[in-house]
Structure 1
Amino acid sequence: MAVRLLSHELSDLCLGKPALRSLSITSTVAEALEVLKTSDDNSVSVWNCDHKAAGFCDEDDCRCVGKVCMVDVICYLCKDDNLVSPSLALKEPVSVLLPKIPGLVLHVEPSCSLLEAIDLILGGAQNLVVPIKTKLSHKRKQHHKTAPAVTIHKGREFCWLTQEDIIRFLLSSIGLFSPLPALSIDSLGIISSETLTIEYHSPASAAIGAVYQSLLDQTSVAVVDSEGTLIGEISPFTLACCDETVAAAIETLSSGDLMAYIDCGGPPEDLVRVVSTRLKERKLNGMLEHLTMSMSCGGFSSSSSSSDEESTGAPMSPLPRSLRHSRSMSYSARMVRRAEAIVCHPKSSLVAVMIQAISHRVNYVWVMEDDCSLAGIVTFSDMLKVFREHLEAIA
């Protein structure tokens, strides 16, 4: 029965998936940023053919070459030269944001089997680009000016599938894999001790390399105290709900303060002042100007009154990107995440951890011992390996 489940075609998983928004590889970082701030999704696909001018393309070599998200922009702006002049950095082509790792995004046909898709993901693919046909495709092809940001190729639109989509699909028929789902993650041997961590009082800037690596690994960076106790996390999934000015906070705050800055509800007013002051001290006037402009254009937190602003002379806190911009809660849209880490116990069952990760829209769960020390991490990739091995055993 389980083997038959994995013979399903990917078209079954694509039902109800929204069509990809796309950017040409010739677009600028600023254009990618604008799409990210107004899109329902937290990432945008990048293509090697120009849909910007026409809205559709019939060329055989039109391919998705990658995806970018707000975390890519934040990490990019954290580079020394870009902190000095973010306005110039945003004029660079979006290709500067794409990782130099082949195979992260792969094109597959709708007839591709779920088993084949799992093998591709275990081989390193993050997103599988699948053509879909919608009722709007033909209309968009004829009236392409109404939807220039949607990728249409030979009358087909595209969606992409992720680890989360596959885990959700497996969970919908989890009983077919019995007794595997009831086993503990400890007994299954899927707790990885190879985690990315940073100490609570360390400068957040020291974590930027780990943050970027966690984005590639689809994990997170654990924030721990001097004894290794898990306090929280700096997660790409949380950063993706922020805006690019978080780069200023990463450069000026400690890891612990950064968690408070990116927590949902908007950064505390006192931390905003700290960031502004330290940018001045370091003569990062370009980033300070960008931060100030973003705050004035993006709106302010309702948690502070206008009288408070007048009495202190300090700017009020900006709302996070996910609250400043109108964002639908579509299937692909991520909920606003807190900086609190999602944790489980080594004796937690596989199915419990799957449900926990899916409910929080993350690809991983931290594993904590009884004394609150960090035991490791469990990822969707680890889970998929277990299902794959189970199928091989019963085949």
Structure 2
Amino acid sequence: MAVSFLRYEVSDLCLAKPALRSLSASATVADALEALKTCEENFISVWDCNHPKTTRSLDAGQLCRCVGKVCMVDVICYLCKDDNLVSPSAALKAPVSAILSKIPGQVMHVEPSCSLLAAIDLILQGVQNLVVPIRTRLSSSSRRKQHPKCTTTTFHNGQEFCWLTQEDVVRFLLSSIGLFSPIPAFSIDSLGIISTEILAINYHSSANSALQLISQSLCKQTSVAVVDSEGVLIGEISPFTLACCDESVAAAITTLSAGDLMSYIDCGGPPEHLVRVVMERLKERKLQGVLENYTLTSSSSYAHSLMSSSSDEESSVSPNTTLQPRSGRYSRSSSYSARMVRRAEAIVCHPKSSLVAVMIQAIAHRVNYVWVIEDDCSLVGIVTFSGMLKVFREHLETMA
């Protein structure tokens, strides 16, 4: 049984995986934003397709490579930069490369025959998404049907692709957890996988001061802990939760405290009093471009009513403007294949929690980590999928 487990390939993990939705590397940030608003997944793949005119269509497809991925958090952090706050509309015209991660190797192509062990090794080396060809038969006419900006499911190399993540691998290992007995029953403390290298911010600090931490947590696939002065965990600012919002959150990050931002991004939508605070502070800072965009995108009818009823200046929105409804992200399906929105409350465990219990917690909440706290809620550290995979990888070596 153990020997047969080692024979698994990444293609075995790709069964029923949806084809990637993709974006051309020649697209703009605005194109990425539009695609993300209509996508069920948190991330969209970015492809560089160099098609020489003299090359046949199928051969040209072989020059397509996935060069990265983008999510709403990338857009939000980009719009929060000082230069972009002055003119958000101009910032959105920049190429999508402006929001791509500068850390190399986060996305990597592998063959369907790549072994499970090799895939785990790549993930432990820092690869976040393994791009895998989907084995399907396509007609020549299907291969030629591509969206100009590749913002829908498209064909590259004459075929479709999916990708595997840390979560996919951990789910697969959990389905065969009995093979690893008794390790899954051991506590995370005894296994030594509690990391004290955490990203944290004080509850009363400005949310804007957490911007770099948010970017780092996105790259590390973790989160930013929000703590009080005594180190007690209050909640978190999670890239996963931010990815389920829209670009108007950039205005909230710019104007609110870390604690207020947690309330703002909660799954019920921003409280009206915080919407008022954001708008008033945008006015004070004379960020007219951000204010206009915020009026159109966040809790639209309420924000518009505040602007219209303002007695000290004219509304910056034309009476004939059609306000867009708030993004449907707050009501999306919570199925495994779809985006799921959760509250800003942190997912926690105890140092004595078993490995398998923590795995189930993380998978149930669609996160790559679980915070570790003591009985008094003081923050001890964090357990990540990467740490879990190291434990399983060491055990797999003994099975070879």
Q: Normalising by structure 1, what TM-score? A: 0.90
Cα separation, 2, equivalents of 1:150 and 1:50 = 18
Cα separation, 1, equivalents of 2:344 and 2:3 = 39
In structure 1, give the amino acid aligned to 2:10: L
Cα separation, 2, equivalents of 1:287 and 1:307 = 17
Cα separation, 2, equivalents of 1:353 and 1:189 = 14
Gap change, CA 1:300 and 1:164, over 3 Å in 2: farther
Cα separation, 2, equivalents of 1:328 and 1:137 = 32
Q: Shift in Å at residue 93 of structure 1?
A: 0.2
- Any conservation in 2 of the 1:265–1:319 contact (CA below 8 Å)? no
Q: Shift in Å at residue 160 of structure 1?
A: 0.5
Aligned to 1:109: 111
Secondary structure of 1:370's aligned partner: coil
Cα separation, 2, equivalents of 1:364 and 1:84 = 36
Cα separation, 2, equivalents of 1:148 and 1:228 = 44
Which of the numbers 364, 370, 373 marks the counterpart of 1:368?
Answer: 373
Aligned to 1:79: 81
Q: Shift in Å at residue 389 of structure 1?
A: 1.1
Gap change, CA 1:137 and 1:128, over 3 Å in 2: farther
In structure 2, give the amino acid aligned to 1:278: R
Aligned to 1:198: 201
Aligned to 2:260: 257
Gap change, CA 1:133 and 1:394, over 3 Å in 2: closer
Gap change, CA 1:184 and 1:270, over 3 Å in 2: same
Aligned to 1:11: 11
Q: Report % sequence identity.
A: 71
Match runs of 1:334-349 below 5 Å:
334-349=339-354
Gap change, CA 1:12 and 1:349, over 3 Å in 2: same
Aligned to 1:29: 29
Does 2:351 match 1:323?
no
CA deviation digits over 1:234-262, x for unaligned, max 9? 00000000001101000100000000000
Does 2:160 match 1:157?
yes
- Any conservation in 2 of the 1:201–1:254 contact (CA below 8 Å)? yes
Q: Shift in Å at residue 310 of structure 1?
A: 9.4
Q: Which structure 2 residue ranges, 5 or more long, are not aligned? A: 52-56, 318-322
- Any conservation in 1 of the 2:35–2:151 contact (CA below 8 Å)? no
Gap change, CA 1:122 and 1:211, over 3 Å in 2: same
Q: Shift in Å at residue 117 of structure 1?
A: 0.2
Q: Which structure 1 residue ranges, 5 or more long, are not aligned? A: none
Cα separation, 1, equivalents of 2:324 and 2:236 = 22
Secondary structure of 1:75's aligned partner: helix
Match runs of 1:89-100 below 5 Å:
89-100=91-102
Moved more, 153-162 or 167-176: 153-162
Gap change, CA 1:309 and 1:279, over 3 Å in 2: closer
CA deviation digits over 1:46-87, x for unaligned, max 9? 011179xxxx86423210000000000001011000111110
Gap change, CA 1:234 and 1:16, over 3 Å in 2: same
Secondary structure of 2:64's aligned partner: coil
- Any conservation in 2 of the 1:58–1:153 contact (CA below 8 Å)? no
- Any conservation in 2 of the 1:193–1:375 contact (CA below 8 Å)? yes
- Any conservation in 2 of the 1:243–1:321 contact (CA below 8 Å)? no
Cα separation, 1, equivalents of 2:301 and 2:117 = 48
In structure 2, give the amino acid aligned to 1:71: V
CA deviation digits over 1:69-114, x for unaligned, max 9? 0000001011000111110000000001111111100000000011
Cα separation, 2, equivalents of 1:73 and 1:342 = 25
Q: Normalising by structure 2, what TM-score? A: 0.89
Which of the numbers 139, 142, 157 marks the counterpart of 1:140?
Answer: 142
Gap change, CA 1:137 and 1:80, over 3 Å in 2: farther
In structure 2, give the amino acid aligned to 1:323: Y
In structure 2, give the amino acid aligned to 1:182: A
Cα separation, 2, equivalents of 1:204 and 1:7 = 47
Which of the numbers 184, 188, 210 marks the counterpart of 1:207?
Answer: 210
- Any conservation in 1 of the 2:63–2:157 contact (CA below 8 Å)? no
Does 2:244 match 1:237?
no
In structure 1, give the amino acid aligned to 2:231: G
Gap change, CA 1:94 and 1:284, over 3 Å in 2: same
Secondary structure of 2:161's aligned partner: strand
**RMSD, aligned α-carbons:** 2.7
Q: Shift in Å at residue 370 of structure 1?
A: 1.3
In structure 2, give the amino acid aligned to 1:123: Q
Q: Shift in Å at residue 206 of structure 1?
A: 0.6
Q: Shift in Å at residue 150 of structure 1?
A: 1.9
Q: Shift in Å at residue 19 of structure 1?
A: 0.5
Cα separation, 2, equivalents of 1:31 and 1:310 = 30
Gap change, CA 1:358 and 1:337, over 3 Å in 2: same
In structure 1, give the amino acid aligned to 2:122: L
CA deviation digits over 1:246-305, x for unaligned, max 9? 01000100000000000001100110010000001011111111111224xx7558xx9x
Gap change, CA 1:308 and 1:84, over 3 Å in 2: closer
Match runs of 1:43-58 below 5 Å:
43-49=43-49, 58=59
Aligned to 2:66: 64
State how many pairs are aligned: 384
Which of the numbers 352, 355, 360 marks the counterpart of 2:357?
Answer: 352
